[in-house]
Amino acid sequence: MRAAVYYNNHDLRLEERPRPAPGPGELLVRIEASGICGSDLMEWYRRPKAPLVLGHEVAGVVEEAGEGVTAFRPGDRVVTTHHVPCGTCRYCRADHHSVCDSLRTTTFDPGGFAEFVRLPAVNVERGTFRLPDGVSFEEASFVEPLACVLRGQRKAGVRAGDAVLVLGGGLSGLLHLQAARAAGADPVLVTDLHPFRLDLARKLGATAAVDARGDVPAAVREHNAGRGADRVLVTAAAPAALEQAFRSADRGGTILFFAPTPPEATIPLPLWNVWRDEVTLVTSYSGPPADMQAALECIEAGRVDVASMITHRMSLAEIGDGFRLVAEAGASMKVIIRPQR
């Protein structure tokens, strides 16, 4: 089978790999749509593990079912996730699924930027879902990133009537925008540097789309009766965005650090202000099965418009161009790889 093998952000090679065979409890899935995630381009994290096949925002069709699989059969349309928590350890029971050992070690074989992937039994059991007839493969490739967003907003406590500031108008930022709107938040502001992304944020329902180089805290107060934001969702790990987060949160507000930084990165923490104003700091990563199911239902119901976020569709052979578009963070939003082309 063909697979796009990652060596670094500027070196992705189309190679032949053996097609994996499903063992007991496993599935072989023919990948029909695989989204490029911003995390795929975190070279500081990916390059030490190279060469490898990336791709975790996937949807496709069951090609083969291993011995003992009864929940799925060949021909089923499915969406799945690469990281799956056990659901029973002390961390999962406390709703800290992201630090579960199972979540941190489960993955696909080889990855979604390939014609086929093998799903281990735990992924089949806890992280794979049938697609409703009205949800396309491309739309289903958003289930995993939207699940991460829904978990993040659950951790941050986003609710109806909240004033929400989304720092960063990339894919995660615009999913956060729509999810906050669906929860009844108002106003919802989005920042970014690129006019294309700011324009798309307006089309997707932002109360205001703000140039990140401007006075972001003042823009929040302008649209929120002189107050800061109840929830600040940081989807861009740039130092300027992190600094804006602390200056934009209202008293009693919450800041969600959604975008990861390199391990060695540190930021100044205005601890006096955080303490004085009772600002809560939370983090979130990944989306456990319940959030995957909620994301799929959200897309099926049309509460989040993911189709309008797709700007490019490419073959495996064109994946290098797809990575370049995502890295440029300009006039593109979601780049979908179609491995069967």
Find the DSSP H helices in the chain. Answer: 43-46, 90-93, 101-105, 121-127, 137-140, 143-156, 171-182, 195-203, 216-223, 239-248, 271-276, 289-301, 319-328
Please report whether residue 67 resides in a domain.
Answer: yes
For residue 265, what pLDDT is reported?
A: 87
266 and 206 within one domain: yes
267 pLDDT higher than 90: no
Structure tokens at 12: 């992705």
Q: pLDDT tens, 35-48?
A: 999 999 999 889 99
Phi, psi of 273 (to 5 degrees): -65, -40
129 and 91 within one domain: yes
159 and 77 within one domain: no
CATH of the domain at 127: 3.90.180.10
237 pLDDT higher than 90: no
Task: Give the residue carrying structure tokens 């009844």.
Answer: 184
Q: pLDDT tens, 151-170?
A: 999 999 999 999 999 999 99
Q: Cα(35)–Cα(317) distance, rounded to whole angstroms?
A: 15
Residue 104, number of CB atoms within 10 A of its CB: 12
SS3 per residue for 241-275: HHHHHHHHEEEEEEEEECCCCCCCCCCCCCHHHHH
Q: Cα(258)–Cα(318) distance, rounded to whole angstroms?
A: 29
Q: Cα(73)–Cα(219) distance, rounded to whole angstroms?
A: 53
CATH of the domain at 265: 3.40.50.720
155 and 136 within one domain: no
Split into its structural domains, the chain has a count of 2
133 and 6 within one domain: yes
Q: What is the pTM of this model?
A: 0.97
- Residue among 119, 24, 122, 28 at smallest CA distance from 66: 24
Among 283, 298, 314, give the residue marking a domain's end: 283
Full residue range of the structural domain in which residue 100 is found: 2-142+306-337
55 pLDDT higher than 90: yes
134 and 154 within one domain: no
13 and 137 within one domain: yes
